[in-house]
A and B are shown apart, each in its own frame.
Chain A
Amino acid sequence: MKEFSVLNHDMVPEHILLTEDEIKKLLAKYRISKGHLPKIKTSDPVCKEINAKAGDVLKVVRDSMTAGKALSYRLVIEG
């Protein structure tokens, strides 16, 4: 069986790893600490695919019925 990347699937939204700088800006924008972000586990197929480590922050770009594109951020946690 040929292996596929989950990222190519139509239903999987775009996941982008943020740089340290971008994370700092994001946290400043919402005046939060990392812990207040929604979480994603390292065992998540997307995390495995893009090689995200615990402590990283992902930007998720989803298609939205109301807004067209919707941005969301997730903190990668062990699991």
Chain B
Amino acid sequence: MASPKRIKKIKFGLLSPKEIRKMGVTKIITADTYDDDGYPIEMGLMDPRLGVIDPGLRCRTCGGRPGECPGHFCRIELVAPVVHVGFAKLVRKILRSTCRKCGRLLLEEPIKKNYLDQIKLLTKLGQPCDDLVKNVFRDATKVNLCPYCEEAQMDIKFEQPTSYVEGGHKLMPADIRDRFERIPDEDIKIFGMDPKNARPEWMILRVLPVPPVTTRPSITLESGQRSEDDLTHKLVDIIRINQRFQENREAGAPQLIIEDLWELLQYHVTTFLDNEVSGVPPARHRSGRPLKSLSQRLKGKEGRFRGSLSGKRVNFSARTVISPDPNLSISEIGVPLQIATELTIPMNITSRNLEECREYVRRGPNNHPGASYVKRLDGRRVKVIDENREELAELLEPGWKVDRQLQDGDLVLFNRQPSLHRMSIMAHEVKVMPYKTFRINPAVCPPYNADFDGDEMNLHVPQTEEARAEAKILMKVEENILSPRFGGPIIGGIHDHISGMFLLTRGNVTFDKDTALELLKKSEIMDLSEPAGYENGKPYWTGKQIFSQLLPSGLNLTYRSKMCDNCKICKREECEKDAYVVIKDGNLLCGTVDEVAIGAFAGKILDRIIKEYGAVEAGKFLDNATRLAIRMITRIGFSFGIDDEDIPSDAQEQIHDIIMAAEERVKRLIEAYEAGELDSLPGRTIDETVEMKIMQELGKARNQAGDIAGHHLGMDNSAVVMAISGARGSMLNLTQMAACVGQQSVRGERIQRGYADRTLPHFYKGDLGADAHGFVKSSYKKGLSPIEFFFHAMGGREGLVDTAVRTSQSGYLQRRLINALQDLEIKYDGTVRETRGQIVQFVYGDDGVDPSKSDYGKSVNVSRIIQNVTGEEVMGGKSG
């Protein structure tokens, strides 16, 4: 083994022909690879001195076996020089800025010196001098007369990809090379190049380095036939043309043929280096598949850098579509049986689990809780197959290892890309299930930002005890209910959970014993409280009581729910909307449970439970609450259809009148504006003022229409229930569906774009009216007129474009932030330091508080402490 060495520095430059000849172990002269016996031909493309790929052989140059020998370069001596495509643009620039006769840079001595000084300064400071060099080329290209030899310069045309025409005459690579050789070292420095490491003439190839066979291994097909690498094929082409070129030249062939062959050689060398140059037809395999050139191996997403070197691949992982299962616990994950039989966990056999392991092995690899491999004491791995499973099971003894299949209760990591925060990877407990999708509780969708419209997620199986312990302590779903972003719960009830809870706890819904027990059946609740009362001799319970069964005893909490209108004088317990929530000793006394109570991103009850009773208790509460809510909502039956948007005809007339009145007022505003009677608002022009007033007027009209619609759609309407409870949608959505869609906007203004002085040819020029600038009178239910539809599409398009732009921008911003902050660490003394120990912050976040352990960002919640100690409720503001 070679000892590791420290890299001191890396130097970039061009390979000079001298260097290529020195590093090449031989010259390649034949295009053939193997002889009839299958032996590589000397001085052929598979010369044994180039390294070894066949097992059992040794390298003729270094004596290494395959895997040890890195391979050795050789070379092809080109009969005529060709341009290296990678430098074609630079060659053009240099040609244009140097003299065609004396080869000097076309700039006066003092200007040159000035540039050279600046470049030297920048390199000393370790800064790039690209911009400066760009100016050098720009200035030098403009010069038409050489300031040294007074030779008139001709215009040089560049024809993609590698030919240069000077004044109608084609420049051959040999001519270019001659010119470049004349450029003095001093001038090369001004191009930002180091003449010792990169002379411009080296960009014209005379010797082609041939990569070692290890770079282009040939594969032996099943038929025994050898199949060569794309690069080898390309090299064969180059050698063939090279030979033909030489023969023709020696035979004194006409100039036309020579030039043709030269071009062909150029083509082959070009496509060897880069087969995706524009203007060059890609070189193809016999089957019509384009050949993979050197540059294609390196660049792009699947290239050597991004794909092979920075790319990471793992074993013990699985990926499939996700779907919801509300009966699972939030910390569980349903894993398809097929995946569970494929993924394994290594188990060390001890005297205590010997029998268990035997059973796994006995079951074999195809019978679910089985085993796929055993590892013997000597370290040999034996595959468990149906033929040997019985014997193998008997052979097991302590010290062996068994790769056991995944089974219920195993801890696995679950991930959804993009992994933007730490909740994007959480540890779940396996629950093996039939069918082919991963199943998760919908309550864990918010942290993953997942939905079930076809999302796929990844699963990873930790393989060591340490990894599992770490996952269990740090990554379990329960440990991540509180977000470190804002110190509140990020996992919580969503959609139906909230609607269900809302319907259960609002007002005084009562249930008889059977129903109450049925609702609580799926939740782990064993007993019911005293009934709220008796009706016809039968006991009944309220929804609030049933919900209270889930709450831990001793929980005290008072807050205002989402419905709260912030009345001037709060009636507290007597609130007629039931929006004042009081929980005493784990009993919901009044108020309605909604998004603010158990929802993701809000969840006050959840938040309080996790902070006072711990993560595990909170997880249980969430499981129970979501199950209860789902039972409730399925019991009631909750649906929404087109007729839920119906409003009575007199309400429709009212809405119509409101909109007509608003249009009338807009008309009067416009008349006043045109008559010049309108006073402008402070800081605005008259035009802006009239726009603002019109917008205000129409906005008011839409709100009024919405109020009327809302008035007629009561709590028996499921969309209203969802909007008020915070489960989904808003009253605005409902207004748009039932009453009036309202003003469409582009860039925050009414729609102004279109034809000269008007949005569409249907209007008069200069029309400022509501309908001419995108006010949609209709509701979605009624349907939009063609003009309204068009304006609506304009506004809708803007929204789509905005989201597309925003996601890409914020993604890049996030990446930059992560790259800048990833190595910072909070040390035990509370300071934030980077890897060298440099202090970045003296106290983390100035106050040293972990947001996920704080109370919505505040370190102490005083009112909560007082309440817990004195038992008296103290209420801060709505947020308190």
Contacts from A to B (Cβ < 8 Å): 30-32, 35-38, 62, 64-67, 70-73
Contacts and interface: CB of A to CB of B under 8 A. Distances in A.
Given A67-B846, A72-B842, 11 more contacts: A30-B829, A30-B831, A30-B839, A36-B836, A38-B839, A65-B846, A66-B845, A66-B846, A67-B845, A67-B847, A72-B841
B849 A66 contact: yes
A64 B846 contact: yes
Contacts of A65: 846
- Among B829, B841, B843, B846, chain A packs the most CB atoms within 10 A around the CB of B846
A32 to B, nearest CB: 7
Nearest to B838: A36
Contacts of A36: 833, 836-839
B855 to A, nearest CB: 13
Interface string B840-869: 111101110100000001000000000000
A37 B840 CA distance: 8
A31 B827 CA distance: 12
A38 B833 CA distance: 10
A36 B839 CA distance: 6
- Closest 5 interchain pairs by CB? A67-B847, A70-B846, A64-B846, A67-B846, A66-B847
Nearest to B834: A36
A71 B847 contact: no
B319 to A, nearest CB: 41
B843 A73 contact: no
Contacts of A32: 837, 839
B837 A67 contact: no
B839 A67 contact: no
A35 B837 CA distance: 10
A40 to B, nearest CB: 13
A15 B838 CA distance: 21
A57 B465 CA distance: 48
Nearest to B831: A30
B846 A37 contact: no
User: Would you call the interface of chain B mostly helix, strand, loop, or mixed?
Assistant: loop
Contact of B842 (A31, A35, A71): A71
Contact of A73 (B833, B837, B842, B845): B842
Contacts of B839: 30, 32, 36-38
A31 to B, nearest CB: 8
B686 to A, nearest CB: 38
A35 B829 CA distance: 18
10 contacts: A30-B829, A30-B831, A32-B837, A36-B833, A38-B840, A64-B847, A65-B846, A66-B845, A70-B843, A70-B847
Contacts of A30: 829, 831, 839, 842
A73 to B, nearest CB: 7
Contacts of B840: 38
A20 to B, nearest CB: 20
Nearest to A60: B842
Contacts of A66: 845-847, 849, 857
Interface in B802-838: 829, 831, 833, 836-838
Contacts of A62: 846
A35 to B, nearest CB: 8
B824 to A, nearest CB: 13
B162 to A, nearest CB: 49
A22 B33 CA distance: 78
Contacts of B849: 66
Nearest to B845: A66
A79 B819 CA distance: 28
- Among B831, B839, B841, chain A packs the most CB atoms within 10 A around the CB of B839
A42 B400 CA distance: 67
- Among B833, B837, B841, B849, chain A packs the most CB atoms within 10 A around the CB of B837
Contacts of B857: 66
Contacts of A72: 841-842
A15 B302 CA distance: 53
A71 B849 CA distance: 15
A65 B201 CA distance: 63
B791 to A, nearest CB: 43
Contacts of A70: 842-843, 846-847
A26 to B, nearest CB: 10
Contacts of B831: 30
Contacts of B847: 64, 66-67, 70
Contacts of B838: 35-36, 38
Given A30-B831, A32-B837, A36-B837, A67 B843 contact: yes
B93 to A, nearest CB: 38
Nearest to A71: B842
Nearest to A73: B842
B279 to A, nearest CB: 51
B705 to A, nearest CB: 42
A32 B833 CA distance: 11
Contacts of B837: 32, 36
A64 B746 CA distance: 39
Nearest to B858: A66
Nearest to B844: A66
A71 B848 CA distance: 12
A7 B346 CA distance: 65
Contacts of A67: 843, 845-847
Nearest to B859: A66
B219 to A, nearest CB: 56
A52 to B, nearest CB: 19
Nearest to A69: B846
A24 B519 CA distance: 68
Nearest to A63: B846
Contacts of A73: 842
Contacts of A31: 829
Nearest to B840: A38
A34 to B, nearest CB: 11
